[in-house]
Amino acid sequence: MLDIIQYLLGAASGVLVGFVLGLVGGGGSILAVPLMVYLVGVPNPHVAIGTSALAVAANALTGLLNHVRAGTVKSRCALVYAAAGIAGAFAGSSAGKAFDGQRLLFLFAIVMIVVGILMLRKRGHAGNPSVMLGRENAAKLVGYGAGTGLFSGFFGIGGGFLIVPGLVAATGMPMINAIGSSLVAVSAFGLTTAANYALSGLVDWALAAAFIAGGVAGGFFGARLAKRLSGTQGRLTTIFAGLIFAVAIYMLWKSAAAL
C-alpha cells in the first residue's frame, strides 16, 4: 500500500507526462513507467506497467477528443488498425506479466533509447489527405496494427511512436491525420493492457486516478505553451529526446544492478 506522499508524487508525475505530451506532441507517455518505479516508488514493476497503461489510455482519450473536434481523425482506418491491435496488445501484455520484472525494465530502457532516436529523425512526409479505408490498405492496417499492439501490450506503453509511422506506411495519410488517428489505437491498446493486468490485480486504481488528474492539468498547460513556442518545436523535441536518453541510461544501470 502506498502512502499519501507517493500518491502526490504520482499526480506530479502525471503533470510532467501530460505537460510533455502537450508541449512536444508525443513520446511523453514512455516516461510513465520509469516515473512510477523510480520517483513514486512502486515496488512491483508489473504494477507500475499496468497502472501506467491505464493512465496513458485515459490521457490519449482526452487528446483524441481534441483531434476529433479538429477533424484530423481518419476514423475508419483508425478503427481497423486499433481492432487488429487489441488482440496483439492482449497477447503482448500476457507475455509481459509472465516476464521477470527487472528484465522487463532493462528491455524497456532499450526501447526508450530507440524512441529517442526516432524522435530526432526528421519527417517531411506530405501524405494524401483524401485517403480512405479500402482493399489496397486494409491488409496493411491489420498487419501493422497487430504488430504494434503486441509491442505496446508487452511494454505497457501507448506506442504512439510506432503507431504513427505504421498508419503512414499502411495508408499514406498525412502526419497530422496519423497523429490524430493514432490516439484511437493508443487508447485501445492501453485499455486492453490495463484490463489484462487488472485481472491479475496489477493495477493501483488510486495511483492511476492521481496520475490521470495530473496528466489532464499538465496537458492543458503544455498545449498552451506549445502554441507560444511553435517556432522552436524542433529544439523542444531534441531536448526531450535528450531527457529520454538520460532516463534510459539510469534505468539500464539500476535494472542491470538488480539482475
User: What residue ranges do the domains of the chain occupy?
Assistant: 4-258
* Model pTM score: 0.80
Cell of 108: 524497456
pLDDT at 236: 65
Tell me the C-alpha distance between 65 and 81, whole Å.
18
Nearest CA-CA partner of 57 in 153, 142, 145: 153
Sequential pLDDT tens for the chain (259 residues): 788 999 999 999 999 888 877 776 566 677 888 999 999 999 999 999 999 999 988 888 887 887 888 888 899 999 999 999 999 999 999 998 988 888 888 888 888 888 778 767 755 555 677 788 888 889 999 999 999 999 888 887 777 777 877 888 889 888 778 878 888 998 899 899 999 999 999 999 999 999 999 988 888 887 777 667 656 656 766 776 787 788 889 888 887 777 6
* Per-residue cell: 72: 484530423
Q: How many CA atoms lie within 13 A of 37 on its CB side?
A: 25
Which residues 6+ apart lie within 8 Å of 39 measured at CB?
Answer: 9, 12, 13
Let me know: does 81 contact 181? Beta carbons within 8 Å: yes
DSSP 8-class letter at 231: G
What gap in Å lies between CA 202 and CA 187, rounded to an integer?
Answer: 19
Query: What distance separates the 2 farthest-apart alpha carbons in the chain?
Result: 53
